[in-house]
Amino acid sequence: MHPIMRNLPTITKNILLINFIVYFLDVMLQRHSGIYLTQWLGLWNIGFGGFHVWQPLTYMFMHANFGHIFCNMFAVLMFGPALEEMWGARKYSIYYLVCGLGAAAVQLAVWAIFTPTAPAVTVGASGAVFGILLAFGWLFPDVKMFLLFIPIPIRARVFVIIYAVFELFAGIADIDNVAHFAHLGGMLFGCLLILWWQNNHKWRFPRLGRNHDTKREQDYNGYHYQPPV
């Protein structure tokens, strides 16, 4: 195994491996057997048909093309280890799955309200990835991020806010074929779960001010980041 993979925390490493294994299996089955895993494992609009109860879980391990999986897994690789080291494997696993399932729930609700019988399907880990981005911006708000095509350092919390606003606009305007509301759903459920944890399993508004590990923040100041799609 490559040294980079050996040094990754367990859950982050497993997320990367499972997603790439499923992706290449899907590609091989399409080319040699004419079988499309998306038919069973993608998240289908309930009103159109083809929906199965396992799809809100399995869809987050499916991807449309190599660029899709590369960008999502790059984000997991860059942001996931910091969260897993802070929270531990069990808590990070719960967070990742809750964000992905929450994204699925929001996407299904949007379909049910606006396009109840449309032949729609979505795949990808983007909902969980946006939850990861939210958590990183929350826990390391002042870490400076250097994004491609933007030579100016941006603080993590500012980046998350800008990205969330863009996703909301893109979802309302329906400017492309991307499940923007699913992305927002991942961030929403991530936010709710963090609030639940930080307030000892009670619903209270968070206190204003910084709430992060300064030393761990410094460890990630030297990283360069590229946003997922």
**pLDDT tens digits for range 14-61:** 999 999 999 999 999 999 999 999 999 999 999 998 999 999 999 999
Quote the pLDDT of residue 7. Answer: 83
Query: Which pLDDT tens digit goes with each residue over 162-174?
Result: 877 877 776 666 6
Q: How far apart are CA 214 and CA 225, in angstroms?
A: 19
Of residues 30 and 200, more confidence is placed in: 30
Quote the pLDDT of residue 148. Answer: 62
Q: Which two tokens stand for residue 145?
A: 């991020």
- Side-chain half-sphere CA neighbours of 21 within 13 A: 6
pLDDT-based confidence at 226, cuts 50/70/90? very low
Q: Where does residue 124 fall: left (phi above 0), alpha (psi -120 to 50 degrees), or beta otherwise?
A: left
Q: Which two tokens stand for residue 149?
A: 């095509």
Domains of the chain: 3-219 (1.20.1540.10)
User: What SS3 state is found at 150?
Assistant: strand
Q: Which two tokens stand for residue 179?
A: 């499940």
For the segment 101-120, the average pLDDT, to the nearest whole number, is: 95
Name which of 174, 179, 182, 176 is nearest 128 in CA terms: 182
Quote the pLDDT of residue 71. Answer: 86
- The verdict on pTM exceeding 0.85 is no
Q: How far apart are CA 67 and CA 228, in angstroms?
A: 10
Only one residue has tokens 């100016």, namely 152
User: What SS3 state is found at 119?
Assistant: coil
The answer to whether the beta carbons of residues 123 and 63 sit under 8 Å apart is: yes
Quote the pLDDT of residue 2. Answer: 53
Quote the pLDDT of residue 204. Answer: 59
